[in-house]
């Protein structure tokens, strides 16, 4: 699907070419990652990232006005700040495309809270939707982008789901395939997905990113894995989300399984299944690069496809590791999914503990 994506893979393919007939098709998977614009203020510009393992950069976020206009959520960081010899973080990514010739840079529209609050209003109005579609294409042209990612979190009922699909159809008209990528990011729970005709939506989409994380957190009354691949005795899991989406007629190759590059903390706890009363919000979130916590011991639950640490200053912290990402990548290749994506690349570790590098290498094992 993304043949010839990385120089690294091309070298491996050449080394093995004598083992296969000329009709053999190299199976290359997407290894996509989000970049939130505020991380540039932490001295993490595009030039500091290991983009050789990334197939798609989802630049987050642009927002939507009530009249349908898509606008940059941080004009200074996105388009004006001097970064990597150019103006703005978006151009800093797009200017790297000659160096990473198959990497796609895609603008993500929406996100949590304010980012998604006007989607329903805009989607159900013909005039507002026309403005939305027009300004989407204008931003793509202005910055030399490869497409748009719709991160509407999330259609709240079937009527909004209908408008959501219509929005995708209108965007596809102005961002025709295969020149442009049209993607979307959706929750993993059926409580949200059931409001959307996923099969019809996928007709317009190149990629459907499933957020297979945040299954547990401060909003739950019991500790648990936040991104488990498998659930024992039911419950949310990456597997259950994928199975549901595929059952709705979505082509496997369009589906990307989400991986968190962060951990969620349950203070005062040490394992799953403990009663918990948290404060909600984003309290107790650690970048994956800062895990395991000092003094904590890292554990793996291979049956769940999950990891955690306990004993440090974060209490019980649930997150992914190279070991769990290997499981998820093998799960993706077994089902012939499109690959993996990560929220977010700036929180990843370097070296042998890199989730992005582990995912890329495992996806392309033969």
pLDDT at 234: 73
| Residue 293 included in any domain | no
Residue-wise pLDDT for 193-225, tens only, equals: 999 999 999 999 999 999 999 998 888 888 889
Mean pLDDT of the chain: 90
Residue 282 annotated as catalytic? no
State the DSSP code for 96. T
| Residue 166 included in any domain | yes
User: Considering its fold, how many domains does the chain have in total?
Assistant: 1
Residue 41 makes CB contacts below 8 A (sequence gap 6+) with 77
- Give the separation between CA 98 and CA 157, rounded to whole angstroms: 43
Burial of 164 (0-12, 13-18, 19+ CB in 10 A): buried
| Residue 268 included in any domain | no
Residue-wise pLDDT for 257-303, tens only, equals: 999 999 999 888 888 888 876 654 456 899 999 999 999 999 999 99
> Which pLDDT band, with edges at 50, 70 and 90, does 185 fall under?
very high
| Residue 274 included in any domain | no
| Residue 8 included in any domain | no
Residue-wise pLDDT for 159-178, tens only, equals: 999 999 999 999 999 999 99
Which pair of structure tokens corresponds to residue 10?
Answer: 């091309």
Helix (H) or strand (E) holding 152: strand 147-152
Beta strands in 163-305 (DSSP E): 181-187, 207-211, 255-260, 262-266, 285-287, 297-301
The domain of 193 spans 29-261+321-363
Residue-wise pLDDT for 103-155, tens only, equals: 999 999 999 889 999 999 999 999 999 999 999 999 999 999 999 999 999 99
| Residue 17 included in any domain | no
| Residue 353 included in any domain | yes
pLDDT at 49: 96
Q: Point out the catalytic residue in the list 75, 138, 153, 222.
A: 153
- Give the separation between CA 54 and CA 245, rounded to whole angstroms: 24
CA nearest 237: which of 301, 171, 176?
A: 301
CATH value at residue 87:
3.20.20.80
| Residue 242 included in any domain | yes
Mean pLDDT of 13-37: 58
């Amino acid at each position: 699907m993304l043949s010839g994506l990385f120089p690294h893979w091309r070298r491996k393919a050449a080394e093995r070419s004598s083992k296969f007939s000329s009709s053999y098709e190299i199976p290359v998977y997407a290894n996509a990652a989000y970049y939130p614009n505020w991380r540039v203020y932490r001295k993490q510009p595009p030039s500091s990232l290991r983009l050789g393992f990334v197939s798609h950069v989802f630049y987050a976020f642009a927002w939507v006005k009530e009249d349908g206009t898509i606008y940059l959520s941080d004009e200074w960081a996105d388009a004006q700040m001097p970064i990597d010899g150019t103006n703005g973080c978006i151009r800093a990514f797009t200017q790297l495309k000659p160096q990473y010739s198959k990497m796609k840079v895609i603008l993500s529209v929406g996100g949590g809270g304010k980012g998604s609050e006007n989607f329903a209003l805009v989607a159900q109005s013909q005039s507002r939707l026309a403005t939305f579609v027009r300004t989407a294409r204008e931003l793509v042209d202005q910055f030399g982008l490869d497409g748009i990612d719709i991160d509407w979190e999330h259609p709240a009922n079937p009527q909004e789901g209908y408008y959501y699909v219509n929005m995708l159809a209108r965007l596809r008209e102005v961002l025709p395939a295969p020149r442009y990528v049209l993607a979307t990011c959706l929750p993993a729970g059926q409580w949200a997905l059931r409001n959307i005709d996923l099969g019809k939506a996928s007709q317009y989409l190149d990629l459907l990113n499933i957020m297979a994380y945040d299954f547990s957190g401060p909003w739950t009354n019991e500790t648990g894995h936040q991104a488990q691949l498998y659930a024992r005795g039911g419950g949310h899991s990456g597997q259950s989300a994928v199975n549901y989406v595929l059952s709705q007629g979505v082509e496997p190759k369009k589906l990307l399984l989400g991986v968190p590059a962060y951990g969620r903390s349950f203070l005062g706890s040490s394992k799953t299944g403990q009663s918990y009363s948290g404060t909600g919000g984003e309290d107790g979130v650690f970048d994956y690069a800062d895990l395991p916590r000092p003094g904590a011991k890292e554990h793996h639950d291979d049956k769940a496809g999950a990891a955690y640490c306990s004993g440090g200053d974060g209490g019980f912290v649930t997150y992914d590791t190279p070991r769990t990402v290997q499981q998820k990548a093998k799960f993706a290749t077994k089902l012939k999914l499109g690959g993996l994506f990560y929220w977010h690349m700036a929180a990843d570790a370097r070296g042998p503990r890199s989730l992005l590098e582990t995912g890329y290498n495992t996806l392309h094992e033969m």
